[in-house]
Amino acid sequence: MALAIRAPRFQPLPVSISASSTSCATSARPSSSAPAAAAICAAASPFTEATSSSRYRRDAWSYTAQDSSSSSSVAAAAAASGRRDDEIALQLPELRRLLEALRASRGKGLEGDGDGSGPGRVALVGTGPGDPDLLTLKAVRAIEAADLVLYDRLVSNEVLDLVGDGARLLYVGKTAGYHSRTQEEIHELLLSFAEAGANVVRLKGGDPLVFGRGGEEMDFLQQQGIRVEVIPGITSASGIAAELGIPLTHRGVATSVRFLTGHSRNGGTDPLFVAENAADPDTTLVVYMGLSTLPSLAPKLMKHGLPPNTPAVAVERGTTPQQRMVFATLNDLVDEVHSADLVSPTLIIIGKVVALSPFWVESPEQDALANENSYKTEAKR
């Protein structure tokens, strides 16, 4: 029975499927030139990249203690070359000035026994996979009421547009090879501004407690006596699967779902050590941050028993206007992802449920195999 679903908001480009493999690389929006469209999608990120001009427009306040225009240029150059310490040094004077102003305001509240006498609070807010329409009402209210917003790379530009005019924004994003702030520095920023009385919002892509290190921030702040509220977001697995019409579990097809991370902490356990246990044909696997480890993960899954013809999809920048996706069987997925030149963030879904998507197209060989299996099943009845 066909699965009736709503088509993705960003309609993919129809492409032909080769007879030798079940795969398709689709562009977010129709274009006369697929390679050109792919290049444009790779260049125009819906998120805040470390050196993007939108980042420095939002964070301009943090450079106003000096000549903001020249300081922003110097900071961008520092980010581009990986000199994070130089960039932080440019921001420190204005960060200190803001802290002093908040502390002074809190001090006046203490003297007058007013409402502003207590410490501030921190809200860890999940913003979903990128589409601002997937934000919860509670998240929107928290964003609009913030005094200071510390935001990650994978918070979409459209979500950041919801921040109030009077709030300060500070980028604390991380990408491969460049961390604008270490996790410990983020902890200290959250603590310092909350202690000074600010209403701090920590914006994270997806859900803050699913591979978002929100648990670490919550634990650190609570140990320091700071009130922490966690506002959940739609995790990328749920949001992107729904966008493509893929049920993560489905009666008779997948009885469970498992989330994996393609990254481990420095010196930590290999994130692929779960491959043996994860190779269950009745389980849907969702791999976060798995582009770099996919070439190692796919062979391990097949070695431990996952059929090579298991349907899979890799989705770049899911739910955003720049969404691109590659459907393929597991044995072809690595090559097809490489050919499509997908970039981070890319979510990978592996399992039989992928074939329930209306964008999954069977190859002639698989059609023949499915018919043969159907005949065998009928013959046994």
Tens digit of pLDDT for each residue in 305-361?
999 999 999 999 999 999 999 999 999 999 999 999 999 999 999 999 999 999 998
In this structure, what token pair is assigned to residue 220?
Answer: 């650190």
If you average pLDDT over residues 145-154, what whole number do you get? 94
- Rounded to whole angstroms, the Cα distance separating 238 from 363 reads 27
Share of the chain above pLDDT 70, in %: 72
- Strands annotated E in the chain: 23-26, 121-126, 148-151, 168-171, 174-175, 178-179, 199-204, 227-231, 256-261, 283-288, 311-316, 324-329, 346-350
Q: How confident is the model at residue 163 (pLDDT cuts 50, 70, 90)?
A: very high
152 has catalytic annotation: yes
Share of the chain above pLDDT 90, in %: 54
289 has catalytic annotation: yes
Q: How confident is the model at residue 175 (pLDDT cuts 50, 70, 90)?
A: confident
Q: How many CB atoms lie within 10 A of CB 301?
A: 23
Backbone angles phi, psi at 239, to 5 degrees: -65, -45
Select which of 152, 204, 325, 332 is catalytic. 152
Coil, helix or strand for 156? coil
193-207: pLDDT as tens digits: 999 999 999 999 999
Q: Which residue has the tokens 């809200």?
A: 123
Residue 45 has pLDDT above 60, yes or no: yes
Put residue 216 in one of left, alpha, beta given phi > 0 → left and psi -120 to 50 → alpha.
alpha
- Rounded to whole angstroms, the Cα distance separating 172 from 77 reads 17
If you average pLDDT over residues 158-178, what whole number do you get? 89
pLDDT at 55: 82
- Rounded to whole angstroms, the Cα distance separating 94 from 97 reads 5
Q: How many CB atoms lie within 10 A of CB 66?
A: 14
pLDDT at 354: 98
In this structure, what token pair is assigned to residue 107?
Answer: 């001090």
More confident residue, 81 or 99: 99
Q: For the whole model, what pTM was predicted?
A: 0.80
108-123: pLDDT as tens digits: 655 555 555 567 899 9
Instruction: Check: CB of residue 200 under 8 Å from CB of residue 122.
Output: yes
pLDDT at 122: 97
pLDDT at 247: 98
263-300: pLDDT as tens digits: 766 555 566 677 777 889 999 999 999 998 999 999 99
85 has catalytic annotation: no
pLDDT at 328: 97
Q: How confident is the model at residue 139 (pLDDT cuts 50, 70, 90)?
A: very high
Average pLDDT, the chain: 80
pLDDT at 29: 32
Select which of 86, 174, 280, 302 is catalytic. 174
pLDDT at 28: 40
Q: How many CB atoms lie within 10 A of CB 148?
A: 24
pLDDT at 81: 57
Lowest average pLDDT, out of 48-52, 82-86, 114-118, goes to 114-118
Residue 64 has pLDDT above 90, yes or no: no
Select which of 147, 207, 289, 332 is catalytic. 289
More confident residue, 368 or 346: 346
Query: What DSSP state is assigned to residue 206?
Result: B
- Rounded to whole angstroms, the Cα distance separating 258 from 290 reads 14
